[in-house]
């Protein structure tokens, strides 16, 4: 759907050299101390107002996590701060928007037990990001996490019943590296023939934020995305090295796009002006008569 980015050999070699040097200098321990400790992690609260929200969904909460990037700078034992945040928030649902690894799915396998403890009270949903398809072994991660209650939305959806209310979650393969990316197919299972068969709320997951308008056109109230790391290093020139960042919260008509700054890093264990974060979305009824 979106042409994958490909870098020159020179740029790849330069990145690899920087990464090796940062590892030798203790980059992982530095990153954990500076960005993943409970007192360093940023918790961002986003209220989402939805017209005619059923009473059961008043205060419904979704924790949004993204871009873990397990690998040279994040490994087993580094998620205590994240777990502590989730224990405080106790979200109904946890959503992961991809990029679990840096170099291949083997990076995240040692973290499977820690990740299995990071689940929502009602459900945990995930989509993959561009990095996760390296060597096409993402199925190995699915195989170990689904028994822990995670559900991977691969051009697919699931309906969650909250009392008499219904929340639809849908997600797509990564817009750059997925073999088949099917927004229509992802949403289809949620949309019955009659309007009153539709869920009260639709939350869409896409690693890349650029798929958001397509979900908006199909009735999603919220699109969760990652990929940009919020620029990772918010300095002139450096902020433009990574994927384009549309903003942390973008309103698209009746749809809100929420872009996570992510948890991990690529290239160097460095974040400047961009904290690692957990986003928590809380839903409430939109006030009536406010001009639409």
> What does the binding site for Fe ion look like in residue numbers (CB under 5 A)?
67, 99, 129-130, 227
- Tokens 């974040």 belong to 271
Please provide the distance, in angstroms rounded to a whole number, between the alpha carbons at the two ends of the chain: 33
Q: Smallest gap, in angstroms, from Cβ of residue 11 to Fe ion?
A: 16
Q: How far is the CB of 126 from Fe ion (least distance, A)?
A: 14
Residue nearer to Fe ion on the CB measure, 199 or 226: 226
Query: Least distance to Fe ion from the beta carbon of 228, Å?
Result: 8
Q: Which residues contact 52 (CB under 8 A, 6 or more apart)?
A: 285
We find the least distance from the C-beta atom of residue 229 to Fe ion, in angstroms, to be: 6
Report how far residue 160's alpha carbon sits from residue 151's, in angstroms, rounded to the nearest whole number: 12
107 vs 130 by CB, closer to Fe ion? 130
CA distance 227 to 134: 15
Q: Which is nearer to Fe ion, 166 or 245 (CB)?
A: 245
Q: Find residue 278's DSSP bridge partners.
A: 43
CA distance 225 to 256: 11
Cα–Cα dist 286/292, whole Å: 9
The residue (of 67 and 78) whose beta carbon lies closer to Fe ion is 67
Nearer to Fe ion, 99 or 214 (CB): 99
The least CB distance from residue 175 to Fe ion, in Å, is 10
Residue with smaller CB distance to Fe ion, 67 or 277: 67
Question: Tokens 């088949």 sit at which residue?
Answer: 180
- Beta-sheet strand order (sheet of 277-285): 42-50, 277-285, 61-65, 93-97, 123-127, 150-152
Q: Alpha-carbon distance 82 to 85, whole Å?
A: 5
State the nearest-atom distance from the C-beta of 181 to Fe ion, in Å.
Answer: 14
């Amino acid at each position: 759907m979106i042409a994958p980015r490909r870098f020159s050999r020179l740029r790849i070699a330069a990145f690899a050299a920087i990464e090796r040097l940062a590892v030798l200098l203790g980059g992982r321990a530095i990153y954990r101390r500076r960005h993943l400790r409970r007192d360093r992690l940023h918790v961002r609260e986003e209220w989402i107002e939805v017209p005619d929200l059923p009473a059961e969904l008043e205060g419904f909460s979704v924790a949004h996590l993204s871009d873990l990037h397990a690998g040279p700078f994040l490994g087993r034992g580094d998620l205590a701060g994240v777990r502590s945040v989730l224990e405080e928030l106790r979200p109904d649902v946890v959503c992961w928007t991809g990029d679990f690894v840096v170099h291949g799915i083997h990076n995240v396998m040692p973290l499977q037990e820690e990740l299995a403890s990071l689940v929502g009270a009602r459900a945990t949903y995930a989509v993959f990001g561009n990095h996760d398809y390296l060597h096409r072994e993402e199925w190995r991660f699915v195989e170990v996490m689904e028994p822990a209650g995670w559900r991977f939305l691969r051009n697919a959806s699931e309906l969650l019943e909250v009392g008499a209310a219904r929340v639809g979650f849908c997600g797509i393969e990564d817009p750059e590296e997925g073999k088949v990316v099917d927004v229509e197919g992802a949403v289809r299972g949620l949309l019955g023939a009659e309007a009153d068969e539709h869920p009260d709320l639709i939350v869409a997951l896409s690693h890349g934020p650029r798929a958001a308008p397509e979900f908006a056109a199909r009735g999603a109230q919220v699109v969760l995305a990652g990929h940009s790391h919020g620029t990772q290093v918010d300095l002139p020139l450096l902020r433009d090295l990574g994927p384009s960042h549309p903003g942390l919260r973008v309103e698209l008509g009746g749809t809100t796009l929420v872009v996570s700054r992510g948890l991990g890093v690529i290239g160097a264990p460095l974040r400047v002006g961009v904290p690692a974060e957990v986003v928590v979305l809380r839903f409430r009824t939109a006030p009536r008569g406010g001009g639409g």
